[in-house]
């Protein structure tokens, strides 16, 4: 457990996780989407193509990362809740991550 290399994945034994439709969770959030400005970009799509475990498909709490029919990485930055996980957890540092412009992005009502 301790000497992990980044990008290696291992299942947790005997655990069945319930399926969650993330869209149902995201709809209750308020966003002020910056249509002209994506604050998250993939630096190099070829790196994603070669990234075997693609952990971002799982750990991103808003499921912003998604592959299209051809396996190409797509980033739905509009749903991002700005946690910052992909910035530090992409094993190849392949995510260009910025803060959205002031006033844009998610706005919690409860937090």
The residues that touch other proteins, with contacts defined as CB under 8 A, are: 1-2, 4, 6-12, 15, 17-20, 22, 25-26, 28-29, 32, 53, 55, 58-59, 61-63, 81-85, 87-89, 91, 99-103, 105-111
Pick between residue 69 and residue 102 the one whose CB is nearest to other proteins: 102
- Alpha-carbon span 3 to 46, nearest angstrom: 28
Q: With binding defined as CB under 6 A, does residue 26 bind ligand SF4?
A: no
d(CA 57, CA 62): 10
Instruction: Name the pairing type of β-strands 73-75 and 30-32.
Output: unpaired
∠10-13-19 over CA atoms, to 5°? 85
The residue ranges that bind ligand SF4 (CB under 6 A) are 40, 42, 47-48, 51, 54-56, 60-62, 64-65, 73, 80-86, 90-92, 94-95
């Amino acid at each position: 457990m301790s000497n992990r290399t980044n990008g290696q994945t291992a299942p947790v034994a005997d655990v069945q996780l319930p399926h969650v439709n993330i869209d149902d969770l995201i709809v209750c959030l308020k966003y002020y989407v910056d249509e002209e400005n994506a604050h998250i970009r993939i630096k190099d799509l070829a790196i994603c193509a070669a990234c075997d475990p693609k952990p971002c498909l799982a750990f991103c709490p808003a499921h912003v990362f998604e592959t299209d029919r051809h396996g190409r990485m797509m980033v739905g930055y509009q749903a991002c809740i700005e946690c910052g996980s992909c910035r530090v957890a992409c094993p190849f540092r392949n995510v260009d991550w910025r803060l959205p412009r002031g006033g844009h992005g998610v706005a919690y009502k409860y937090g």
